[in-house]
Structure 1
Amino acid sequence: METTSVSSSRIQKFELEEDNELRFVVSGREEVTLELINGSAEVFGSVVEKNKKYIFPPGARVAVFTWKKATVELIGTANAYVSPETPMIMYINLHAALEQLRRIADNPTEKDRVGQGPRIMLVGPTDVGKSTLSRILCNYAVRQNRSPIFVDLDVGQNSISAPGTIGAIHINRPADVVDGFERTKPIVYNYGSLQPGDNNALYEKLLITLSQAVSAKTVENVETGISGVIINTCGWIADGGYAAIVQAAQHFEVDIVAVLDQERLYNELQKTLPKFVKIVHLPKSGGVEVRSSEVRLKSRNMAVQRYFYGTRGEQYFPHQFDVPFDEVTVVKVGTESVPEECLPVGMKPEDYSAKVVPFPISPELRHHVLALSPFDSLTQEISTTPVFGFVVVKEVDMIEKKMTVLCPRNELPYPRIFVYTKIEFLDDHNVPM
């Protein structure tokens, strides 16, 4: 692919021609300011306002696209280049196809199912731009006065809530150029791990529960039903990952699957999914690079930090609380099944994938993210009921029998049943007690 490179400096100016894209990564620890000087441009489908300064944090990966022409200025240290080749034409064509299906759903003389708009699922390996395309499609839908539901099934790099979760959110306004979509009133289910394969059975149970909640929302609100559902998935596509993709397509009743980058996955899904499911093959997003495990870890830490502390544009001020051991119950979802050979003849092993069991309070909990359950007693429903928040365990004092937790609210809510997760976050901020 032909690109035009520009050396790194404190101030860089770029002249973008029609259908060009400026791609940059904020390097080091400094912020980078983006400003549109002339013309028109967008970032992942969000319109960039002229002469407004957008400040991106360290580590941000940004693509500034123009359908016409634009003059863009960057201030700060950034690795940047302009590319004349992007997949945006294909992406806007996909959006146009979705919009046509919404119009059919909105037309009483043509629609087959009342209020049933398109349900599209984006699949592919890691680092091909599924999250980016999800954001673009959501933004374009909102700019057409639609209000789709966005679903994120990626437990490793979830964009709706903390890592280790799946969830859905109603999109009714374009994403902020820097901070992304507002995350008000999401529905979030705690999975507790970064790998769907750690507990396949629990992951499918959560898929079913979330899909039912999403369907209920599309029935309750006619406009939401017409606007449809946009689903992002994780990059696990082999073996159990492929099965999870097929399960998600079935449970969410998708009618379109967009496969990014991998032709083999495209061919396999054509053989597996029902004929009424339209499967399209798209190139990966331009400028996407394979991220190292260190970069992924940093991204997850930033996601947890955002949950507790917000962003530069919208800061949160969490609090610390000392919680006596006798005022909290910590549980874990999922435990080992009894081997079949150890059971009496004729008995089948129970499904322990969603079994809720007590988890001992110990120093092992330090730095772990814990989910807040809405229940006040141990029940099997803890595993498949939306959570209403998260805390981070900062300290465990075995002598005083108390633990210190970080909470985004100014009071620690009741009931206090905390659900263990494998997600860890080392918090180095000073917050009020």
Structure 2
Amino acid sequence: MTSTDLLRDNPHYFHFQGQEFKLQAHAELRFEVEAKASVELEMTEGRGEMFGTELAKNKKYIFVSGSKVAIYTWHGCTIVLKGKAEVAYISKETPMVVYVNTHAALEQMRQKAEAENTRGPRILVVGPTDVGKSTLCRILVNYAVRLGRSPVLADIDVGQGNMGLPGTIGALVVERTADVEEGFQQTAPLVFHYGHKSPNDNFQLYNMLVSRLAEIINVRCEQSKKVNCSGVIINTAGWIRGAGYEALKQAAGAFEVDVICVLDQERLYNQLKGDLPDFVKIVLLPKSGGVVERSQATRAESRDNRIREYFYGLKNNFFPHSFDVRFNDVKIFKVGAPSLPESCLPLGMKSQDSQTKLVPLVPSNSLLHHVLSISAATTVDQDIVETNVLGFLVVTSVDMDKSVFTVLSPAPRPLPRNILLVMDIQFMDIK
């Protein structure tokens, strides 16, 4: 029995002191970092890539607690691991050939768009939770960038918030491949405040923000021929039944997608084939064998880690600020009023309108530990609901006697704007 077979079959944790893995062509090394630990990775021979980003030879990469990593090689390579992993194994059963063929088809569409001066492909990646949608988006974007493209990556999965924080949707023009350790460089993403963990919490607001995001992406594409030809890749939530399915169709219409990639869900594939027009190409793709289903507790922990990473950095290399904000210096709102019966509403108003209504809040102890979005709006007369946000704060304490609350902030005082939006998402700073 080889050491690689042992690592695959043994369910216990592994402590590597320079374990060497030799990968043959078209093989994939998969490992997950143990909680409160780290793993150092170095490619000593050959060529390999992580989710479409090429690894540099003899460079040491550090992956922190909870990282799920897959290193694929087209020609063969040698990988050395040091640290503690929860699981590690080499697999030859990987969908990477299918994914690169998908990329090649998209590239042909980009070349045609470039020649005819038209719009590049717009791809919606859909499927249930935990099938690798975010990973596929990352692979497709990285392959496009490696060919000199500048695609737009849009994220409308409010549960994880890869573009901003959980409870937001956003988009980013990508001009460089994702960093192996830290992902895409997010210097100036466009982010909108939604405020909940699921589209179902405020369906009307979710659909409105998705449409708003699509409008702004259209404007951005009109400003740059390169971006327009490169196309848009859209990551979606894993809610695919009932209203979630309607949200997917609404997003497909808002972004005017050309291609829908369905991951590991034949039922959803056939539903979309029947409901969407023929000019939308719908393809069924397999998920990676390394993808595992996460529990609700694991997903909640992932959200906390994403918020903590925003303030402290992936490797705790950021140093956030803490300062007091006076009640009178800010205006605090929540998007969405409690639903009322039709008979109690003003004449001509519908119950759905309350879901996108801006409700002013009086600062109180109920703000404690809540995440706040800083709106880019300069006055309350603006359409704050459809205005993007500049950043995020967390309320760490409230002093009603002094009429101040203390915030954790990535930047020092003063706040860039005084209009704050409350999320239904909480974070306890226990660092």
Which stretch shifts more, 262-271 or 378-387?
378-387
Task: Give 1:303 shift.
Answer: 0.9
**Do the aligned partners of residues 410 and 347 (structure 1) sit closer, same or farther apart at CA in structure 2, a change above 3 Å counting?**
closer
Alignment correspondent of 1:247: 250
Check whether the contact 1:193–1:422 (CA below 8 A) recurs between aligned residues.
Answer: yes
Aligned with 2:221: secondary structure? helix
The aligned residue for residue 42 of structure 2 is 35
1:311 aligns with 2:298: no
One-letter code of the match for 2:238?
G
- Distance in structure 2 (CA, Å) of the matches to 1:238 and 1:329: 37
8 Å contact kept, 1:356–1:380: no
- Asked if 1:364 is matched to 2:358, the reply is no
Are the structure 2 counterparts of residues 5 and 275 from structure 1 closer, same or farther at C-alpha, using a change threshold of 3 Å? farther
Residue 428 of structure 1: CA displacement? 2.2
Q: Work out whether residues 202 and 353 of structure 1, in 8 Å CA contact, stay in contact via their aligned partners in 2.
A: yes
Tell whether the 8 Å contact from 2:373 to 2:389 is kept in structure 1 after alignment: yes
Report how far residue 301 of structure 1 moved.
1.0
Q: Equivalent residue for 2:399?
A: 397
- Aligned residue runs from structure 1 range 279-358, under 5 A: 279-312=282-315, 315-342=317-344, 349=351, 351-358=353-360
Judge conservation of contact 1:340–1:349 (CA < 8 Å) in 2.
yes
2:144 aligned with 1:136: no
CA shift, 1:307, in A, is 1.3
SS at match of 1:296: helix
What's the CA shift string for 1:60-84, capped at 9, x where partnerless?
0000100111111110111101111
State how 1:86-165 maps to structure 2 within 5 Å.
86-107=94-115, 111=116, 114-165=117-168
Deviation at 1:350, TM superposition (A): 6.5
Given candidates 166, 182, 187, the residue that maps to 1:184 is 187
Sequence identity (%):
49
How far apart, in 2, do the equivalents of 1:379 and 1:88 lie?
50
Q: Report the secondary structure of 1:388's partner residue.
A: strand
The two structures have a TM-score, normalised by structure 1, of 0.94
Assess if the C-alpha contact under 8 Å between 1:133 and 1:285 holds in 2: no
Q: Give me the TM-score of the superposition, normalised by structure 2.
A: 0.94
Distance 1:47 1:354, change over 3 A: same
Q: What are the superposed Cα offsets for residues 358-390 of structure 1, whole Å, 9 maximum, x if unpaired?
A: 122111111111011123443461111101111
- Distance change >3 Å, CA 343–CA 59, structure 1 → 2: closer
Deviation at 1:311, TM superposition (A): 2.5
Change (3 A) 1:372 1:295: same
Which amino acid in 2 is paired with 1:198?
D
Report what 1:58 is aligned to.
65
Query: Does structure 1 conserve the Cα–Cα contact (< 8 Å) formed by 2:377 and 2:387?
Result: no
The whole-number CA distance in structure 1 between the counterparts of 2:247 and 2:263 is: 17
Q: Which residue of 1 aligns with 2:88?
A: 80
Query: CA offset at residue 158 of structure 1?
Result: 1.7
C-alpha displacement of 1:347: 7.0
Moved over 4 A (4+): 343-350
**Secondary structure of 1:9's aligned partner:** strand
Amino acid of the structure 2 residue aligned with 1:335 = A
Secondary structure of the 2:388 match is coil
CA distance 1:344–1:31, shift in 2 (3 Å): closer
Relative distance call for 1:257 and 1:33 in structure 2 (3 A) is same
Per the alignment, residue 9 of structure 1 pairs with: 15
Closer/same/farther in 2, CA of residues 344 and 183 from structure 1, 3 Å limit: closer
Counterpart CA distance in 1 for 2:141 and 2:349 is: 49
- Letter matched to residue 295 of structure 1: T
The question of 1:167 aligning with 2:145 is answered: no
Residues 126, 262 of structure 2: 8 Å contact kept:
yes
Q: Which amino acid aligns with 1:24?
A: F
> Structure 1 residue 384 and structure 2 residue 386: aligned?
yes
Contact 1:132 1:285 in 2 (8 A): no
Corresponding residue SS for 2:218: helix
User: In the TM superposition, what whole-angstrom CA distance separates every residue of 1:98-133 from its partner, at most 9, and x where no partner exists?
Assistant: 0000110111xxx3xx33100001000000000000
CA RMSD between the two structures = 1.6
Residues in 2 aligned to 1:359 and 1:81: alpha-carbon distance in whole angstroms? 52
User: Residues 341, 80 of structure 1: CA spacing in aligned structure 2 closer, same or farther, 3 A cutoff?
Assistant: same
Q: Which amino acid is 1:331 matched to?
A: F
Cα offset for 1:10?
2.1
Which ranges of structure 1 fall in alignment gaps of 5 or more residues? none
Aligned twin of 2:33 = 26
Q: Distance in 2 between matches of 1:324 and 1:339?
A: 37
Give the corresponding residue for 2:77.
Answer: 70
